[in-house]
Amino acid sequence: MAELWTISESSFNPERIRHNETVFTQGNGYLGTRGAFEEFYPDEQRATFVHGVFDDLPVVFTELVNFPDWLEVEIFLDGERFSLADGEILAFERHLDLHTGLLTRTVRWRSPQGRTTWLEFQRFASLANVHLACLQVILTPENYSGGVELRSGLDAGADNLGFKHWDWLGQGFDGQTCWLKLRTHTTEIEAGMATSIAVTADEDIETHVWDVHGHPTLAFNTQVSVGHDVRLEKKASIFTGRDCADPLASARAELAHLPEHAWDELWQAHTRCWKEEWQRCDVLIEGDDEAQLAIRFNLYHLLIAAPRSEERVSIGAKTLSGYGYRGHAFWDTEIFMLPFFTYTRPEIARNLLSYRFHNLPGARDKATTNGFSGAQYPWESAGDGREVTPTWVPNPSDRANMIRIWTGDIEIHISADIVYAVWQYWLVSQDDEFLINRGAEIILETARFWASRLEWNNENRRYELTDVIGPDEYHDHVDNNAYTNHLARWHLRKAHWLGGWLKEQNPQAARQLFNRLGLVEETFSHWQQVADHIYCPLDVETGLIEQFDGYFKRKDVDLAALEPRTESVQNLLGIESANDTQVLKQPDVVMLMYLLPEEIDPAVAQKNYDYYTARTDLTYGSSLGPSIQAIMATRLGSPEQAYENFMRAARADLEDVRGNAGDGIHGASAGGLWQTVVFGFGGLQVNVDGWKLAPKLPKHWKRLAFKFAWRGEEVSIDLGGKEGENT
Ligand code: BGC
């Protein structure tokens, strides 16, 4: 069933160019390249990002740097330049094979002067050797014979939407290879890139070296006759100073040992790796082709963004597929994307959590700067774990005015979210070594933060958290956000438990760690005592958990009355007015019920689900909302709502529901989709004692099969359409 592995486009639509650049992004966990055209197109956003290569930028502090483009191939057909913006497109198809990450495009093009040519483009970013990428172009004249010129190289002029990060250090040629040496302007990360180009044709080929400063290029000229092919193969290699001491030497050496035509050899190794990846991660859905393709598409995007051999990078909210959020990582990684890796690729989950471990110094600085103890993780994080949330951004609807962004100051739940992910990883993997040597420090240092951040309210005899932002960002500067308070309580209790566990498991390691962090017996009992007095509101009469103090007094808006609409409630009403209502950008209390089910009575869960669902902007609010909503709907027995929200998440990027998929893949939505399938419809539940299933498949699904790694062993689940059936 090749079509359930293939994302296709059967005609060229210039209106969707940005969106499709995101959809057709390729990568290998080291680099990501957007689906731009080799020959260029006006207004495109061609970009290649490499994990961890950030450089400073005003307003957003730092951003992933766009690398010199390895795709460029300019094609001249008997003197006419091939471009989809000119001439006539007689046929166009593009396919992304999710099983292998191969992108293929075929075009039948008539030039302005009537020359018709078949062109086929293929490319992949090697998963077997993440420093390599490869493309080929085959062109065949249909109604003319004449000269063909192909120009290709590397362009140091690559910028980030107009902002230049690269300083040129050198360039050169070596036979049919050209190379570039560069360095990022402020962070001074060196990059070495090399590319080898081989052209084959029936007639002789003349090769010219164009040593243009900053743009080493090779130009190939040959003659071609009707029905005959000209083929170009381009291999590119990228290394940075983050990988090795001499990135340029490594990039050149990588290509030097490959034959002139290496496509087949590289392809074999690459597809073997993808095959293994899917054997561990694929999810099979029978009876719903759209869902089947969508889940694979979303998993593909998580897999191409996942660092396999690096533990000092995370996955940004938009993966490596666009400029959105400038490559910064949020709670999206730990709460939404990480479970997929924890359950199918624990090695990757460990890398991602290690990123937070290595960035503890940044989190400690943040806590100290804010007058707290321990470690406070940044809301947005990039290369070194400093807070990089912009504080002021231009107002898109009124560029003369700036908007103050408060999330970096007061959206503090992320410290508990990260700990939640550490805990889940340990629960599923039983990787004691990680917990003892890395996870524990994360958990304990952030517990110290909570203990110092919580405020004792003497009048009410309880601990409170005032002036925060919860997951629902339509409301800022609120007191006692239920999600944040509950998570802080859960976190302190886990830290208390961990203290005992560590002493039991490895007394020596425990002693050393506690000494280093200055933790004594009383610290742990104090945490327990604080946790027991954190204010976690519940109105016993209504059974409702108030999202924050005074939420119920805000204006109630009938969301249905705002229909039909094509934008978020915040856009419609304005930031201040939306803040005054009860409308939510994303489920907040529902999210809490999802993460900590043991803390919420099922009868209470239903009431809160009903209350908050009616007030959540699920279509145009946050892309993080629908998947969680779908899981809770499944658990609470609302199958229609579950499926509707599942499909909202499934279509987020494929259908560009919010109109911003051009900025990059919504990684959290992709991870949430996997959770909906496995924890929602599949009904997988885990706790310290083991796992169990309570499946509730959508009625029309005939089969759902997936695998997960449980404490070192692979478990295969294969569910028939009927409830509870596990064959
Ligand atoms: C959401 C946050 C999310 C961020 C990055 C915001 O719009 O409200 O929850 O972390 O986007 O995806």
Residue the block writes with tokens 């192909």: 150
Residue 667 alpha carbon, nearest atom of ligand 1: 12
124 within a domain of the structure (yes/no): yes
Residue 686's Cβ-count burial label (10 Å; 0-12, 13-18, 19+) is middle
Which of 51, 72, 712 lies closest to 433, judged by CA?
A: 712
pLDDT at 723: 46
660 alpha carbon to ligand 1 midpoint, in Å? 13
625 within a domain of the structure (yes/no): no
- For the stretch 694-717, pLDDT in tens is 999 999 999 999 999 999 999 999
Q: Which of 315, 330, 411, 660 to mutate to test the pocket of ligand 1 (most atoms within 8 A of CB)?
A: 330
Q: What are the backbone angles phi and psi of residue 558, rounded to the nearest 5°? A: -85, 105
- For the stretch 566-619, pLDDT in tens is 899 999 999 999 999 999 999 999 999 999 999 999 999 999 999 999 999 998
The answer to whether the CB of 622 is under 6 A from ligand 1 is yes
CA angle 298, 27, 195 (to 5 degrees): 165
Which of 382, 50, 26, 25 lies closest to 191, judged by CA?
A: 50
Residue 471 alpha carbon, nearest atom of ligand 1: 9
12 within a domain of the structure (yes/no): yes
Tokens of 45: 């956003």
Domain that holds residue 212: 2-258+266-278
381 has pLDDT over 60: yes
The answer to whether the CB of 663 is under 6 A from ligand 1 is no
pLDDT at 722: 52
Q: Whose CA is nearest to atom 1 of ligand 1?
A: 622
Identify whether the C-beta of residue 49 lies closer than 8 Å to the C-beta of residue 32: yes
Identify whether the C-beta of residue 230 lies closer than 8 Å to the C-beta of residue 146: no
Q: How far apart are CA 653 and CA 305, in angstroms?
A: 15
Identify whether the C-beta of residue 425 lies closer than 8 Å to the C-beta of residue 350: yes
408 alpha carbon to ligand 1 midpoint, in Å? 12
Residue 556's Cβ-count burial label (10 Å; 0-12, 13-18, 19+) is exposed
Q: How far apart are CA 464 and CA 545, in angstroms?
A: 15
77 within a domain of the structure (yes/no): yes
CA angle 338, 343, 348 (to 5 degrees): 55
Predicted confidence band of residue 2 (pLDDT cuts 50, 70, 90):
low
Task: Please compute the mean of the pLDDT values over residues 318-323 and round it to a whole number.
Answer: 98
Would you name the residues annotated as active-site residues? 473
181 within a domain of the structure (yes/no): yes
Q: How many CB atoms lie within 10 A of CB 58?
A: 7
Residue 330 alpha carbon, nearest atom of ligand 1: 10
- For the stretch 234-277, pLDDT in tens is 999 999 999 999 999 999 999 999 999 999 999 999 999 999 99
Query: What's at 41, amino acid-wise?
Result: Y
Report the number of distinct structural domains present in the chain.
1
- Percent of the chain whose predicted confidence (pLDDT) is above 70: 99
CATH of the domain at 132: 2.70.98.40
Q: How far apart are CA 360 and CA 357, in angstroms?
A: 5
214 within a domain of the structure (yes/no): yes
Query: What's at 495, amino acid-wise?
Result: A
Query: What's at 475, amino acid-wise?
Result: H
- For the stretch 447-464, pLDDT in tens is 999 999 999 999 999 999
303 has pLDDT over 50: yes
The answer to whether the CB of 334 is under 6 A from ligand 1 is no
231 has pLDDT over 80: yes
pLDDT at 721: 53
682 has pLDDT over 60: yes
Q: Across all residues in the chain, what is the average pLDDT?
A: 96
Half-sphere CA count of 375, side-chain side, radius 13 A: 25
Q: Which of 325, 624, 660, 669 to mutate to test the pocket of ligand 1 (most atoms within 8 A of CB)?
A: 624
622 alpha carbon to ligand 1 midpoint, in Å? 7
Q: Whose CA is nearest to atom 9 of ligand 1?
A: 471
413 within a domain of the structure (yes/no): no
Query: What's at 323, amino acid-wise?
Result: Y
640 within a domain of the structure (yes/no): no
SS3 524: helix
Tokens of 116: 């018709």
Task: Please compute the mean of the pLDDT values over residues 417-430 and round it to a whole number.
Answer: 98
Residue 473 alpha carbon, nearest atom of ligand 1: 8
